[in-house]
A and B are shown apart, each in its own frame.
Chain A
Amino acid sequence: MSKGFASNYRVVLLAVAICLCFGGLGARLVELHVFDRDEYLPVIDRARRQIIVESARRGDILDDRGNILATSQSMIVLGVDPQAVRPGDEKKWPELAELTGLSLAEITKKFLTKTRGGPAEPFAIQVTKPTGPAPAAAAGDDDDAEVDDPADANGERPIRWEKLCDDVAESTYAKIRGLDIQGVYGNRVYRRVYPHNSLAAHVIGYVNKSGAAVDGIERYADFYLHGRDGWREGERDGRGHEIAQFRTRDVPAADGYSVTLSLDLGVQHIVEQELDLIAQKFQPQKATIIVSDPRTGFILALANYPTFDLNEYNKVPRDDMRAMRDVAITDQYEPGSCFKIVAIAGALNENLVTPQTSFDCSINQIEYEGRVRGLPREDQSDHFKMLTVAQITARSSNRGAAQLAMLMGDQRFYDYARAFGFGQLTGFPLPGEIDGTLLPPNKWDALTITRMPMGHSVDATALQMQMAMGVIASGGYLLRPQVIREIRDTNGRLVYSYDTVVKRRVISEQTARTMARLLMGVASTQGTAPTAAIPNYEVAGKTGTAQKIIDGHYSEHHHVASFIGFFPASRPQVAISVIVDDADAHALNGVAYGTSVAAPSFKHIGEQLIQYLGINPVYAPAGPSLVMGGNRP
């Protein structure tokens, strides 16, 4: 064997050198990983570890036919890191200003302001939203978020992210990225978009820019809609990019469920068009129209005037904030003659009267419970003498209704009013509903029993009146008004389905049928609302013209005009309420009667719904015909 190159001296030297090198490296590793571990670990954590929050997409709100009423769209919150700005990019700033809609002066100021005074919180683990290719910074839904480094010795903090503008569209952002200005980047956020602007604004509600559901279904169904944000824990490289292979935890975002409403876009549009016409013609203080399916209690359309654009909720002037209230459930009014259905239906249901029972409606006073009570005056007293219950209904006799209520007695009349849903919440799933006013008999004065049957001394919301009329249309049941049809997950699987909820039976089916027949008399030439009649269709309904209380007195010049009805009367398919508040100034003869202001709108909406929903008239029984089976030879 040859001696080789190794002499004892060289070999030992080499071995010692190698051992020293490895030993040195080992010692340094031990020092870093064991002795200095506590010192360096937080630094490394700060520098490399990150948690990326993945925003869940809020679920859509759909109408009954699958049209999107509210959806979420990704937008860009654009910002700049002034520390990364290159002087060479200055010539691109005017183009950036044009794309963002900012002035060049603003852009220049934001780009050149590199520090701000005051202390900053030291960094912990940085939480970031998913970002574009530029360095990530914490700028999520909080639009004014600023991310700065710790302050220097002079107390100045370098600015690492300054917002330029929010709600930049993806296409615009692509152009901005195309400019290749270093330090300019955006963070994607979801913004709520309402494709139909003001349509069904009060039902849908809205989500503000910080992502909080403020009103309407957005708020009521927020639990289902908002979803659950996901997050990823991992490391990032020196440029702030995520090192994908070092993800340690990955919790995917769970998008929100979609909520399908019973609203129908077409019906809602018809209703809102009618409200526009009412607003143009009468310029009322406010107005409400509700359309529902009386067999199920589901609302097909609900609209108020005035209204607002859901996409521009933040631009509603302070003086017009009332436009954002869903007055159909938050405001109460004296229902006027529409309330007579309680006294008439109650008396019929108790078998105290029949449609042919007559009452003397020419008298001014009547004795009740040992005291003489003054009866309210009639609008057309010269026509009213002896009236049957059917005529009291058709001609809307105040005195007739009062006598029917007195026949029932205070307590029984009150019980029927409660049973019809007055003085209590309907259970409608939107925030802000009030229960109206219905005082118990022990708080009534001597005149209440004569005034309440004609709709005074009682307050109701538009929705309460709609559901009260629904009692007659549904065959005697008080139903809970509902607007959510079903909830589905992101894969379209049914999560929850809403069904008809019967609150109670109020009157018998026979009484309901009789009432429907009596209410058909209202929309006839002998009734108060021939203007509501639809040729070939059985329209049942009731007019209301309630004086408003102004400065503590019933006003002769301010009224709430209403018509609440349904059709076809013998097989109801839609119930419609039209309530117009204070349209007197532009009404015929200066008084806004239900028959002249509200009933024509009922008819107009009804005629359109007949076409849109395919409502057939009730067939007359077929007469004898010559019929023969078999094939024709």
Chain B
Amino acid sequence: MMNLQRFHAPTARQALAKAKMAFGDKTVILSNRTTPNGVEVMAASSDEVDTLAQDNANEAQDLDAVNTATKQSFSSALSSAVKESVEADAQQLSMSTLSFQDFVRDRMLKRRKGLMTIPADMEDSGSASDRASVGTDSKRKAKVGIPVRESAAPTAAHTANAHTPATHTAPAQIHVGYSDLSAQASAGTTTPKGISDELQSMKALIEERFSTLTWLGETRKSPVRNNLMTQLIGAGYSPHLSRAVLDKLPQDQDAQAAKKWVAQVLERNLKTDGNTLSMMQQGGVFALMGATGVGKTTTCAKLAGWCAREFGPASVGLITLDTYRVGAHEQLRAYGKMMGVVAHLAYDQAALQDLLGLLVNKKMVLIDTTGLAPRDPRTRDLLNTLNLPKLQRVLVLNACSQGEMLDEVVQAFRTTGTQQAILTKTDEASKLGPALDAAIRHQLMLRGVTTGQRVPEDWEQAQPHKLVKQSMHAPKTAYTTTDLDLGFFFSHGSTGTAPSSELGALHA
């Protein structure tokens, strides 16, 4: 029997505390409701919920065994019943009416006895006392009582047909009885399994909620942690990443040190080429891809401009695959013309390969692509077109986009190996948090940042320190998160949406 207890207290917190005192850390809250005197909480120990679940699992196994045994037993009983009835019929062909009644009674008893032996085949799954008490013990009925109860059906049917010596009806009825039996047996398994699943799901939900509340409670107890959490959420970082970072915050740090520690963790986890060669210095073939309107063409022009300045116009090759947007080629060509670089147009992979052959001696070849929405089916075609050796795909992300949008774009344009990215429009973004959050969670390698519209001046190499610092200075607006909003952010759904694998490589 499960030990459930009700706890009454003026507030939910106190009621939970009482429950926790009774059951300890393994408290599972099953329900709570408001009463005239405060709050009533129904709780149990998680061990008991587990035991109940185990019982149900065992019951399910027992029933599986019963089903198997029942099938075998009924099969043998069926053949023996048919054989027996045929032999008996042959022997009793010339009997009197009185002896016929005896015959029927005798045969009925034999049949009943024969069917009564079926549960005897199941001795592995039940004791003799269990079998004896099938009629009274309701729990046992759920396990093995069903075949016994069903055995009455063929008997009754046989009785009803007792006046007719036809014996072929019995097997048919037994067969029907067997089908019903299976149905009943499976119905018997559904109910406890359903309850078990529901309880397990409820338990998981409660545990997660309880854990979040506990965590939130602890966070609120620590003003430093609370303040940092508010800042991170306010800066646009996801609750998932914020919590993952603050979980590792060392104790006994003052506000300043803690803030510095958090910034350093974010910086360490933000991959950039800040300490290595820039795209221009490194050189190679780069294809810029991303959603519509993120600034791919302008970024291409900026990169080409810097490369032309450093290594001369002849060192740069420009190709556009954007045959969709009106004026896309003209725009790139206009930029190219100003710096003495020719912008070529490729319609397909063959043309692209041909042009790459023409530009093989260039220091840097930049490929501008058509902007595509993350769910656009043409995204896959574009990725296939760009699937060429030595071609590096660089994802262009708009820093003004919402976190969800950035996640979608990264998923849609995901490629094998290290995913390179460029962050655009950082000057327009009111919060850099979502973009940096996406870069950290998806482990993108930031190759650069665009900070304005001027070509090519407004381009910078990605510097983690600068970006994180900038992100932590989000302006205060009506959308700024306060301490009171933290509970909302950490409600169910905010904490469990991001796959844990995404944060597997977080370095504190």
Asked if chains A and B come from one complex, the reply is no
